[in-house]
């Protein structure tokens, strides 16, 4: 089972087992038992099926968006789907593709997503703090990344000088603000 970093808002980062199976973009296979993250296009094509309806009613279905997805073009469908999805994931096909950061901000700030937002794909340790700032609260690291080193990233910065999804900006003064 794959490991992931879970860092809930107001919580502490920890390594947990990922329970979610990620359906590939071109998959046409029926879903088995368990929790599934399906591509948004799969959701669009199959959301009326009894299989998918049973999954989302049981809380066993989430969607993932490709980096080239146009969230604003599908705004109404996404808002309707958010009532049924347990989790939303954003794919980073390569670490230098930053569109997932923009997608996270859109989902959190414009569309009001309050559930789990997961980074999947080519997710590296040095991206975690920036991802957390824009709204990600779980991270499925690339296989060659060390989870223990990843956890240390969340202990590095104790002051925020910019607003972010997790908290407002710290107002630094002469006092010690260490957490």
Give the mean pLDDT of the chain: 87
Looking at residues 78-93, what average pLDDT do you find? 95
Helix, strand or coil for residue 128? helix
- How many helices (H) and strands (E) are present in the chain, helices listed first? 6, 8
State the pTM of this model: 0.86
Termini Cα distance of the chain: 33
> Is residue 20 predicted with pLDDT exceeding 50?
yes
Report the distance separating Cα 87 and Cα 95, nearest Å. 22
Report the distance separating Cα 14 and Cα 11, nearest Å. 9
Report the distance separating Cα 171 and Cα 138, nearest Å. 27
> Is residue 162 predicted with pLDDT exceeding 70?
no
Helix, strand or coil for residue 67? coil
Domains of the chain listed by start with CATH number:
3-153 (3.20.20)
Asked if residue 172 lies in contact with residue 162, where contact means CB atoms within 8 angstroms, the answer is: no
| Tokens at 150, concatenated | 């990843």
Read off the DSSP letter of residue 27. -
| pLDDT at residue 169 in the model | 44
pLDDT in tens, 9-18: 888 899 999 9
pLDDT in tens, 111-144: 999 999 999 999 999 999 899 989 999 999 999 9
| pLDDT at residue 1 in the model | 59
């Amino acid at each position: 089972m794959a490991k992931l970093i879970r860092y809930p808002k107001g919580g502490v980062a920890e390594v947990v087992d990922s329970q979610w199976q990620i359906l590939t973009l071109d998959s046409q296979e029926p879903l088995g038992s368990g929790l599934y993250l399906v591509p948004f296009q799969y959701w669009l094509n199959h959301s009326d099926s009894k299989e998918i309806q049973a999954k989302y009613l049981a809380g066993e279905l989430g969607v993932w968006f490709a980096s080239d997805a146009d969230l604003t073009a599908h705004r109404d469908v996404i808002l309707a789907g958010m009532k049924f999805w347990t989790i939303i994931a954003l794919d980073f096909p390569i670490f230098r593709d930053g569109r997932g950061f923009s997608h996270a901000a859109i989902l959190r700030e414009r569309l009001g997503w309050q559930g789990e937002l997961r980074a999947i794909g080519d997710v590296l340790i040095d991206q975690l703090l920036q991802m957390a700032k824009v709204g990600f609260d779980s991270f499925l690291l690339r296989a060659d990344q060390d989870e223990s080193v990843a956890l240390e990233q969340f202990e590095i910065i104790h002051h925020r000088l910019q607003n972010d999804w997790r908290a407002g900006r710290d107002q630094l003064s002469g006092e010690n603000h260490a957490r």
